[in-house]
Amino acid sequence: MLRNLLVEMRYNGAAYHGYQIQKNALTITEVVQDAIEAILHRREPIVGCSRTDTGVHANSYFFNMKTACGIPEEKFIMVMNRELPKDIAILSCKEVPLDFHSRYDCKGKEYIYKIFNTAEKDPFQADLVLQHGTYIDAEKLEKIAQVLVGRHDFTSFCSLGGKVESNIRTIDYIKIWRKGEYVYIKVKADGFLYHMVRIIVGTLLHINDGKIPPDGLGKILEKRDRNFAGKTAPPQGLYLNQIIY
């Protein structure tokens, strides 16, 4: 009897070239499928909820897998975690209807970008955060960022190479706060364009550092031109944090 399993995992993406399978690079999909094959003795296709780029992490990531194997959900979690490398962990597994699709049934996503905001360099965090020396006024930056909340054309915040029918998305909220030497930027939307969060973060940092005027964010949004926004922030600070079904 065919079953559809919805599996939640988290991973440190530093050693991988993103989630999506690639011919000549190690990816999350390949490693997870290798583990499944070792356990079930068959290579089952898996469907991911989203693509993540090289070096990007996930606190919560879902994939679904249709299989005729009758392995209990709790045992699947246990044996997968035994088989997977230390930078990937299975968090949960449950059976869902056969027509459930982890990507197309997703209603929204939340990302967090982590910044180590100090002039001191910490080599132990090099792959886990962006290290930014200029002091970030989190409260001020959060107020500036609110112009992006709502339904807009985010062409200015999309890298070339993304293939979508429309660049219109709805951002539900942008929250920015400081905790000690760390600054966190959390963004939730109904969907994201290619590099959208990283370009938003890079642009906000340009504003913080005085490279773009504080009132420039709305004008950049209106331009609908990637050339007017700031640099794309590096991948290591980005975490897929939550998937909404």
Q: Which residues are catalytic?
A: 53
User: Torsions phi, psi of 124, nearest 5?
Assistant: -75, -10
Q: Is the dihedral of CA 190, 22, 59, 34 positive or negative?
A: positive
Contact 125, 182 (CB under 8 A): no
197 vs 211: CA distance, rounded Å = 19
CA-nearest of 8, 184, 203 to 91 is 8
CA-nearest of 35, 26, 27 to 7 is 35
93 vs 74: CA distance, rounded Å = 7
User: Strands 108-116, 182-189: parallel, antiparallel or unpaired by DSSP?
Assistant: antiparallel
Helices and strands of the chain, counted as H and E runs: 5, 10
